[in-house]
Amino acid sequence: MAKLAFPHNIQNFLLKSLHFALRKTNLQGQFVQNSQDSFRLEVQGSQQEILNFSDSLQNYIPLSLQWTFKELIVLESFSKENLISLNHLFVTHFLTPLELQQLSNKESPNFCNLWAQWIDFQPTKMTFLKEEQRNEIQNAQDLIESLQTLANLLKQNECIFVKTIFGKKELVLLEENNPPNLEEIGEDFCFMPYSLINVKMLFRVENEELQALATLEKPILKLAPKSIFQHFFPIAQVNVLLPFEPYLVLLSKFLDSSLGLYLLPLRQKRKNGICEFVAEDSKPLTLSIAQNSLILPHRFESYKPNSIANAFLQAITKDSLNRVNALYLGENRTLFWVYFNENFKEALTFNFESNLGTILETFKTLNQTTQSLLKNFSSHFESIIHALESLPKNSVPSQNLLDLVGMCGVLLGLGESHNLKASANAVIECAWKFLGKKGPRIDFRLERDTEGKISLNTLQTLRSVMSFRLAGVENELLCFGILDSLAEFFANFSRDMEENYQTKGIVVCGKLFLNTQFINQFLHYLPKTSEIYACATMEFKNKTL
């Protein structure tokens, strides 16, 4: 499983929860450390007793991104080495599914009682801030009264303050009939629906993403709102996470009629809120989850020489790969390598003109069909062509295919030629508005020159985009078609490399693969026999290109 965050905390919690489940069923058992990231539970009992115990674990073991049950085997006797002692395990402050149900059920005697006897949860000091007056929360009744007061303030369009394991936040309520001013929300926020039901109602989300949101780690996922709810959000992709603190779960019980909460950075001192005292702030995980359940961490590092090659090698070593393809699509030059005999070989290089002013001059010298296309495009989109013809005619070579996507964005009126990176981002964002799975086929064609060298004909790609725009294809569909066709191009090329070099599977890296729309299309076209592996670090920034 992926190593994401707090793996030792989670192991401690699992050990304590499993031990508690053993005691409840009066079974004898012990824990053995297999490796740094795996352990086994050895249990003695009849077949029926062990099956009953296994069935009960759904009450004690929540979903996790990093831990999963691997196998059930029969042992002749208990192990005598690498035994795990439970005597000195620290408190992780996690709750089991059954405990969370008891804590959050208004009919339960333990509703809001963080101070009850839980397996591995102990509340830290909590303070209720009411009109700047501080009062320590010491019991369930204190917490109920505090949360009810804060819920009432939120319903009155007041902002409240919370101090959490993820730092200080402002909370703003989203009620369908009384939404907040989006200008006040801004773009730097997370949205916290109360449940998976709310997530499914508000956002376009896959089952794999729903499962990830519900895990113990409570990651942030970027999700696109459904069109009917887009007016509640100022951006095309929203950072979404479920309540990640017990008291935030409990707060939602006092806000049943609303859709969720915006979490904003603390912008000013607030008079009302809850402060939970934590030793050190944590940083939430931000992930992308592909349709095959592949986890892609939003982990970025500064670019250094060989950064991308080292990222590929780490993934290759981790998964013990011998012959594999490797593809980088991100902020630096595009790479497609094949790995065999413990070395990388560059299978395809990219080097193309990115000055659209120069490209227009080239179009004027090509065949009659291209000249006619340019003439028609110029008459329909005169302002775009006029701006491009005024550009200097110096050559601006590029090795990054995201620049090609950005050039397409300029031709679609989504960006400016002086900032192809922003234009490419506009294409990617526009594509999210398309709800389908199939776009127009944009031409990504490999051609062989007179010297036998193979290269991508980027001029043909641009001509293809111009033709579809002249035909009246709307930008949302056309932008999706650009990404869809690029995904198909690389999936087919990976298949060809598997046939030519006897490689198996592909390691991916780069920010474009963090876009679930793109990676899901890539998986759609990738041969079903090809495994896909993600790098632990997915992007490398701050390189001067």
pLDDT digit string, tens, across residues 252-272: 999 988 999 999 999 888 999
Q: Residue 2: pLDDT band by 50, 70, 90 thresholds?
A: very low
Residue 490 makes CB contacts below 8 A (sequence gap 6+) with 327, 329, 336, 522
Structure-block tokens of residue 76: 């002749």
- Using one digit for the tens of pLDDT, what is the confidence trace for 489-545? 999 999 999 999 999 999 999 999 999 999 999 999 999 999 999 999 999 987 444
Instruction: Return the structure tokens found at 347.
Output: 């299978």
Query: What pLDDT sits at residue 449?
Result: 79
pLDDT at 7: 61
Q: How far is CA 190 from the centre of its chain?
A: 13
Q: What does the pLDDT read at residue 4? A: 46
Nearest-angstrom CA–CA distance, 162 and 155: 16
Angle between helical axes of 47-56 and 7-25 (0-180°, round to 10): 130
As a whole number, mean pLDDT of residues 278-295 equals 91
Q: Render the burial of 500-517: b for 16+ CB within 10 Å, e for the rest.
A: ebebebbbbbbbbbbbbb
pTM recorded for the entire structure: 0.91
For residues 323 and 310, what is the distance between their CA atoms, to the nearest angstrom? 16
Q: Which CATH superfamily is domain 123-276 in?
A: DHBP synthase (3.90.870.10)
pLDDT in tens, 75-94: 889 999 999 999 888 888 89
Parse the chain into domains and list their residue ranges.
Answer: 1-96, 123-276, 352-495
What is the secondary structure of 478-506 as a DSSP string? HHHHHHHHHHHHHHHHHHHHHHHH----E
Q: What is the DSSP letter of 90?
A: P
Average pLDDT score, the chain: 93
